[in-house]
């Protein structure tokens, strides 16, 4: 058995040795890191100089100056190797391909052929990683005391005339530098530090051992001697330690304990200790900023809970309540939630052989929205995450600790960030489409959309009237189609959601709060339109300077329609191609006919053409074809012709839908009359709203616009062959439409 003196001396020596070793290691490591960092910074500066030189000399002479610069750098003592490699792995300036490319590009001999470098190839994974990531790589070869540095030579704007724009980099600079001198400095420092710390440690060890002997060891031995005698039954002995430190206090306490034993107060002292511990626990629970409580085996809350729990849930008296009663005070509204939580807590207590992580996977209080009521009766929602921890007594769960985390702010911030991300993404998409289609088209879209929203807001006041409800649906459906045409997904989605609310409103009857919700949704759409208008105005000047709008409006219209068809067809799982044609450059009715044409095309994709499997089964091409032609007839009238090679109109379905809607009572009505019925108000064979078609919104939208323009519309269809729409418009546009 080792004496306390031996243990103290050994501990001091071991601690000092460990401290010295760690100090030397940290000092040397920091020195090594600093020296290598300085080397890395120096390489970065040299590479920046080289990169600048290369860029400048490539504009005024290329290889001769470049080779001379490389030779000068290689002559520097610190560089063991320095080369510039092209992206294909060959060393730069080894052939005349660049000179020939520049001369051909300039159409004159600008650079003459000069001596080349020796051809080399590099096969290093770090070289490939630099090309893939466009970032420098720093490699320490400590075994050979060398450092390699791979730095990309960027394809700067001044360089792209000759080197093209296909690659972000046009080469990689490779340096190999010896760090042997650095390691010699480090070894020298390590030896000096070792000697210094050993001498210092020896002195400190001697002082510490002497102080520990005087201050600690001697009093501890004395205390041990007294305890031994007390253990042998001598209760009259006392310690005689005069110091005013912890050991002196310990000696005093030991004397008090001996007196207490002598007076038979052991039990009383134990009770005092327990009470002190309880007070400390309560003090801790009252000041901790965490929701913490203990559950008893009967699933009730014990007296041990933090004050933060009462603040979080705004309840004061919680002892004796079940956790389910505490979380869900209203038993009528949350009967099922109470039952689920009781079953979960019971499982935590009883299923001790089941892995706790598996039980927590069904935690009903994970990111749970809870309704709390303050002292004035005001209700608010908080989001909590409760963690359950078992407290065992031997092999039985005695208590379960529940720790609550208030995640309300975190979840709300995450939702706000997600909303901001969606808005940012939407704005980027809008900018991309504006740059593609031109700002004029977007300004026209916004003006028409604002008109639709204004009219819908006005009709909302009388939404209980069938004509107002129908008008709102028609306006929103047209706006949704235009938004999809302009590739404004956020607007289209918002309109689609609002359309669904209005349909539910019409189906289930009116409630004032529903009208308020619809009004808020319409206002949200208006705000989004204002944002689009602002973006469009800001890009108007850019559109003029960048050449946007050089194509005719009909060409822009056709191209945007093709993009819309591609997206809608993909959404519906169909293969559809739009074929366009026109014998005119200016179509005066383009703005008025945009929405009707969009409606006809969407209607054709949704209703007319079949999916690929159905088309192949019918012996047709896998890809459906929709043709749109806009032109002028010999009599001067304008004509819009739209056809598809789909399934044609199913007159049986039309007849059935018309009878159900009580639009006809004669099942023997002719197909020609049924075709005309398609243009009547509120006729549609769709039974539910979708992002493509709208329930209750039919071809009457197209018919009304054509009639307003003093035009005519006709329809021709053949079963399993397709459908054709022909719209004719006057040669002279009415002044009222200008």
**65 within 8 A of 73, measured Cβ to Cβ:** no
Count of alpha carbons within 13 angstroms of residue 43, beta-carbon side: 28
Strand partners, 382: 370
For residue 497, pLDDT beyond 90: no
Look over the chain and give the mean of its residue pLDDT values, rounded to a whole number.
77
106: pLDDT confidence band, cut at 50, 70 and 90? low
Q: Quickly tell me which residue has 């190839």 as its tokens.
A: 121
Each residue's pLDDT tens digit, 261-306:
777 544 555 565 656 665 665 555 555 667 788 899 898 998 888 8
Range of 13-17, 166-170, 669-673, 714-718 with top mean pLDDT: 714-718
For residue 204, pLDDT beyond 70: yes
Of 427 and 670, which is predicted with more confidence? 670
Please state, in angstroms and rounded to a whole number, the distance separating the CA atoms of residues 82 and 173: 7
Please state, in angstroms and rounded to a whole number, the distance separating the CA atoms of residues 509 and 463: 10
Sequence-distant (6+) residues with CB within 8 A of 697 are 473, 474, 477, 684
Is residue 65 classed exposed, middle or buried when 0-12, 13-18 and 19+ CB atoms within 10 A define those classes? middle
Of 494 and 584, which is predicted with more confidence? 584
723: pLDDT confidence band, cut at 50, 70 and 90? very high
Strand partners, 147: 140, 177
Please state, in angstroms and rounded to a whole number, the distance separating the CA atoms of residues 297 and 292: 17
Which pLDDT score is estimated for 265?
Answer: 46
Q: Furthest-apart CA pair in the chain: how many Å?
A: 133
Sequence-distant (6+) residues with CB within 8 A of 657 are 683, 684, 685
Each residue's pLDDT tens digit, 251-271:
787 777 777 777 754 455 556
**722 within 8 A of 621, measured Cβ to Cβ:** no
DSSP track, 608-625: ISPPHHHHHHTT--SSEE
- Residue 179's nearest CA partner among 43, 69, 23, 51 is 43
Q: Evaluate if pTM is beyond 0.85.
A: no
Q: Spell out where 296-395 has E strands.
A: 301-305, 368-373, 379-393
The predicted model gives 425-437 an average pLDDT of 64
User: Coil, helix or strand for 652?
Assistant: helix
Which pLDDT score is estimated for 631?
Answer: 92
For residue 368, pLDDT beyond 60: yes
The predicted model gives 194-220 an average pLDDT of 77
The structure tokens listed for 232 are 């042998």
**537 within 8 A of 446, measured Cβ to Cβ:** no
Domains of the chain plus CATH, in order, are: 1-19+181-263 (no CATH), 59-178 (3.30.450.20), 279-406 (3.30.450.20), 409-550 (1.20.120.160), 552-738 (3.30.565.10)
469: pLDDT confidence band, cut at 50, 70 and 90? confident
Phi, psi of 30 (to 5 degrees): -65, -40
Pairing of strands 146-154, 137-141: antiparallel
List of long-range contacts for 265-272, beta carbons under 8 Å, 24+ apart: none
Range of 54-58, 197-201, 337-341 with top mean pLDDT: 337-341
Q: Quickly tell me which residue has 């078609």 as its tokens.
A: 693
For residue 328, pLDDT beyond 80: yes
- Residue 562's nearest CA partner among 628, 607, 615 is 628
- Give the whole-number percent of the chain exceeding pLDDT 70: 77
Please state, in angstroms and rounded to a whole number, the distance separating the CA atoms of residues 16 and 10: 10
Strand partners, 171: 153
The predicted model gives 33-41 an average pLDDT of 73
For residue 638, pLDDT beyond 90: yes
Sequence-distant (6+) residues with CB within 8 A of 261 are 230, 235
For residue 63, pLDDT beyond 60: no
Each residue's pLDDT tens digit, 2-33:
666 677 777 878 887 888 788 777 777 776 67
Range of 418-422, 535-539, 611-615 with top mean pLDDT: 611-615
Phi, psi of 353 (to 5 degrees): -85, -15
Which pLDDT score is estimated for 687?
Answer: 46
For residue 444, pLDDT beyond 60: yes
Estimate the share of the chain in helix, then strand, then coil, as percent rounded to the nearest 5.
Answer: 55, 15, 30
């Amino acid at each position: 058995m080792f004496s306390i003196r031996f243990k103290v001396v050994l501990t001091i020596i071991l601690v000092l040795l460990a401290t010295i070793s760690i100090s030397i290691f940290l000092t040397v490591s920091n020195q090594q890191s600093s020296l290598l960092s300085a080397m890395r910074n120096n390489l970065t500066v040299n590479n920046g100089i080289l990169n600048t030189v290369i860029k400048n000399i490539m504009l005024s002479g290329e290889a001769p100056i470049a080779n001379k610069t490389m030779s000068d750098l290689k002559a520097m003592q610190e560089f063991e190797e320095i080369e510039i490699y092209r992206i294909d792995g060959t060393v730069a300036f080894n052939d005349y391909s660049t000179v020939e490319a520049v001369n051909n590009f300039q159409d004159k001999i600008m650079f003459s052929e000069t001596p080349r470098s020796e051809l080399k190839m590099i096969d290093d994974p770090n070289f490939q990683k630099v090309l893939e990531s466009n970032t420098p790589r720093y490699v320490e070869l400590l075994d050979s005391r060398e450092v390699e540095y791979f730095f990309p030579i960027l394809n700067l704007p001044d360089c792209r005339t000759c080197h093209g724009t296909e690659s972000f980099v046009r080469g990689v600079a490779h340096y190999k530098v010896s760090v042997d001198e650095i390691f010699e400095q480090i070894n020298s420092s390590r030896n000096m530090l070792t000697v210094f710390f050993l001498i210092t440690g020896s002195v400190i060890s001697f002082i510490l051992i002497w102080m520990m002997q005087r201050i600690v060891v001697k009093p501890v031995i004395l205390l041990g001697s007294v305890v031994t005698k007390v253990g042998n039954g001598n209760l009259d002995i006392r310690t005689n330690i005069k110091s005013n430190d912890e050991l002196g206090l310990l000696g005093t306490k030991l004397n008090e304990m001996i007196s207490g034993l002598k007076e038979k107060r052991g039990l009383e002292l134990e009770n005092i200790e327990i009470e002190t511990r309880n007070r400390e626990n309560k003090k801790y629970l009252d000041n901790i900023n965490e929701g913490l409580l203990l559950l008893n085996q009967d699933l009730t809350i014990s007296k041990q809970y933090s004050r933060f729990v009462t603040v979080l849930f705004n309840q004061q008296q919680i002892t004796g309540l079940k956790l389910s009663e505490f979380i869900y005070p209203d038993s009528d509204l949350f009967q099922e939630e109470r039952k689920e939580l009781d079953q979960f807590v019971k499982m935590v207590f009883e299923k001790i052989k089941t892995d706790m992580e598996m039980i927590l996977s069904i935690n009903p209080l994970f990111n749970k929205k809870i309704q709390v009521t303050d002292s004035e009766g005001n209700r608010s929602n908080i989001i909590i995450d409760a963690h359950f921890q078992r407290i065992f007594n031997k092999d039985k769960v005695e208590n379960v600790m529940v720790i609550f985390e208030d995640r309300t702010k975190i979840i709300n911030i995450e939702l706000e960030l997600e909303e901001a991300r969606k808005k940012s993404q939407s704005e980027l998409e809008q900018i991309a489409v504006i740059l593609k289609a031109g700002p004029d088209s977007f300004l026209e879209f916004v003006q028409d959309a604002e008109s639709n929203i204004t009219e819908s807001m006005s009709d909302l006041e009388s939404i209980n009237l069938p004509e107002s409800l129908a008008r709102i649906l028609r306006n929103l459906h047209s706006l949704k189609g235009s938004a999809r045409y302009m590739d404004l997904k956020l607007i289209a989605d918002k309109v689609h959601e609002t359309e669904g609310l209005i349909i539910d409103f019409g189906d289930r009857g009116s409630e004032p709060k529903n009208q308020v919700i619809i009004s808020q949704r319409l206002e949200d759409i208006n705000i989004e339109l204002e944002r689009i208008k602002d973006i469009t105005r800001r890009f108007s000047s850019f559109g003029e300077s960048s050449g946007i709008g050089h194509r005719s409006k009909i060409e822009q219209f056709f191209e945007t329609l093709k993009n819309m068809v591609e997206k809608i067809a993909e959404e519906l799982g169909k293969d559809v191609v739009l074929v366009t044609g026109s014998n005119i450059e200016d179509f005066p009715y383009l703005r008025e006919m945009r929405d009707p044409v969009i409606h006809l095309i969407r209607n054709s994709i949704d209703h007319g053409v079949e999916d690929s499997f159905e088309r192949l089964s019918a012996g047709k091409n896998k890809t459906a074809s929709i043709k749109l032609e806009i032109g002028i007839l010999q009599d001067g009238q304008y004509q819009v012709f739209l056809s598809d090679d789909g399934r044609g109109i199913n007159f049986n379905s039309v007849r059935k839908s018309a009878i159900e809607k009580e639009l006809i009572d004669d099942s023997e009505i002719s197909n020609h009359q049924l075709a005309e019925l398609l243009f009547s108000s509120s006729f549609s064979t769709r039974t539910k709203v979708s992002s493509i078609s709208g329930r209750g919104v039919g071809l009457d939208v197209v018919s009304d616009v054509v009639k307003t323009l003093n035009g005519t519309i006709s329809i021709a269809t053949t079963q399993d062959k397709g459908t054709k729409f022909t719209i004719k418009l006057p040669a002279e546009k009415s002044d009222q439409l200008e």
